[in-house]
Amino acid sequence: MKKLKTTILTLILLSSFLMIFPATTSSDIRVKPPAPPGRNKAPSVTITSPSDGSTVFGVVTISITATDKEDGDLIAYIYIDGSFVIHTNEYLWDTATFVDGLHIIEAVAYDSTEQQGSDTITVTVDNGSPPPPPPPGNYYALIVGISDYENINDLSYCDEDASDWYNYLSGIGYDSITVLGDGHSSDYPKYDGLATKANILYELSILADNKGEGDTIAFIFSGHGAAFDRTQHVICPWDTSATTWDYDLYDYELAPIIGGTNAGNIFLFFDSCNSGGFLPELQANNPVGTVYVTTTCTAKGYGYDEPAYENGAWTYWFLDAGLIQGGSGQLDMEGNFDWAYSVYTHMSRNDRPQEWDEDGSNLFYLI
């Protein structure tokens, strides 16, 4: 009887307990409600490297941290100077592909609700960029062609040589060309006076003076040439004498004028007998600029005509056939010389064209 009362009492107490603490289900468990609209915070974005206001060069690592309270770690979008670059938190930036100066780096990240966080820094790129190139130089030429001499025997096609050189150089951009010739001024497309010794020396000094490293000068001669006592060599101006050498222009007179110029590029072309004899004096007076010289022959050789083409032989093959007609397929003087030399027909030992390429590493161009 006592046991039965105890059992009934236990059931009554248990029933009361269940009424006070009812059983729970999964739907009864409390969870954190989503943030109401307007309360979700934007991502936090920080550019950790490089530092704001720093100076950078070479390859620089751009490092970013981007986190969101709700979404965790995020991946940022990197912009440089307003242009999208890449979607990453670490980027190797080659600053050499940008000009020196101020540049803006921006990192932007978005959370799942499209809220945006960003960070912006400014850096200075300094790769020691070379200074801008100097302004383009000018191109100057002095052309001398003498067919009809005052005191000695005449030649046939030197005025045509001068005319062809003038037309070619003016056509490729030479902006200052002086032409000296014989007494038949109408035979030249441009005529600036008689090719006397005094006039040639005067114009040579103008050609060489007040030039800079960006300038190119060219001296071209077609006419008589000779050797004096086999040791000194001359070109023969229009007023050359038949009885004295005083009116000839010697190698030792021309070479110091060319050697004293500050022009960056110097081109000399001789179509005259014994013209190879000018090379030693020119080499001894080597100017600061780059020099290219070609002559029709050696110091003991002769120049020839090409009557079928109405030119001096070396002028025709080097200039007309090689450069103007494009026979050589080359615009550099070295390549054009090689082709013209290979087709030149006056190839006795002393009559072979000569070349002095002062800079053996780089090709020489007239423009």
Q: Tens of pLDDT along 322-364? A: 999 999 999 999 999 999 999 999 999 999 999 999 998 899 9
Kindly state the percentage of the chain with pLDDT values over 90: 79
CATH number (domain holding residue 99): 2.60.40.10
Q: Do 80 and 199 share a domain, yes or no?
A: no
Rounded alpha-carbon distances, angstroms, from residue 4 to 9, 11, 257: 9, 11, 141
Residue 5 has pLDDT above 80, yes or no: no
Q: Do 232 and 113 share a domain, yes or no?
A: no
Q: Do 275 and 306 share a domain, yes or no?
A: yes
List the helix and strand counts (H, then E) for the chain.
Answer: 7, 20
Q: Do 143 and 112 share a domain, yes or no?
A: no
Q: Which residue has the higher pLDDT, 30 or 359?
A: 359
| 268, part of any domain | yes
Q: How many domains does the chain have?
A: 2
Q: Do 162 and 96 share a domain, yes or no?
A: no
pLDDT at residue number 4: 43
pLDDT at residue number 131: 52
Q: Do 80 and 219 share a domain, yes or no?
A: no
| 367, part of any domain | no
Could you count the other beta carbons within 10 Å of the beta carbon of residue 323?
A: 21
Q: Do 296 and 223 share a domain, yes or no?
A: yes
Mean pLDDT of the chain, nearest integer: 89
- Residue that is last in its domain, among 72, 90, 125: 125
| 64, part of any domain | yes
Question: pLDDT digits over 263-299, tens only?
Answer: 999 999 999 999 999 999 999 998 889 999 999 999 9
| 193, part of any domain | yes
Q: Do 145 and 73 share a domain, yes or no?
A: no
Summarize the confidence of residues 184-190 as an average pLDDT.
97
pLDDT at residue number 127: 86
Q: Do 248 and 179 share a domain, yes or no?
A: yes
CATH number (domain holding residue 258): 3.40.50.1460
pLDDT at residue number 128: 80
| 188, part of any domain | yes
Summarize the confidence of residues 226-235 as an average pLDDT.
90
Could you count the other beta carbons within 10 Å of the beta carbon of residue 317?
A: 27
User: At 145, which amino acid appears?
Assistant: G
- Residue that is last in its domain, among 125, 151, 183: 125
pLDDT at residue number 122: 96
Residue 153 has pLDDT above 50, yes or no: yes
| 197, part of any domain | yes
List the beta bridge partners of residue 293. Answer: 268, 356
List the beta bridge partners of residue 178. Answer: 142
Question: pLDDT digits over 295-316, tens only?
Answer: 999 999 999 999 999 999 999 9
Q: Do 205 and 342 share a domain, yes or no?
A: yes
Residue span of the structural domain in which 94 resides: 44-125
pLDDT at residue number 317: 97
Residue 156 has pLDDT above 70, yes or no: yes
| 228, part of any domain | yes
Q: Is 145 left (phi over 0), alpha (psi -120 to 50) or beta?
A: beta
The secondary structure of 168-225 as a DSSP string is HHHHHT--EEEEEB-S-GGGSSS---B--HHHHHHHHHHHHTT--TT-EEEEEEES-E
Q: Do 208 and 267 share a domain, yes or no?
A: yes
Q: Is 336 left (phi over 0), alpha (psi -120 to 50) or beta?
A: alpha
- Residue that is last in its domain, among 93, 125, 157: 125
Burial class for 110, CB neighbours closer than 10 Å (0-12, 13-18, 19+)? buried
Residue 135: pLDDT band (50, 70, 90) is low
Sign (positive or negative) of CA dihedral 158, 160, 161, 165:
positive
Summarize the confidence of residues 139-149 as an average pLDDT.
98
Q: Which residues contact 335 (CB under 8 A, 6 or more apart)?
A: 328, 329, 363
| 11, part of any domain | no
pTM of the model: 0.65
Query: What's the CA gap between 222 and 258, in Å, rounded?
Result: 18
Q: Do 160 and 66 share a domain, yes or no?
A: no
Residue 261 has pLDDT above 50, yes or no: yes
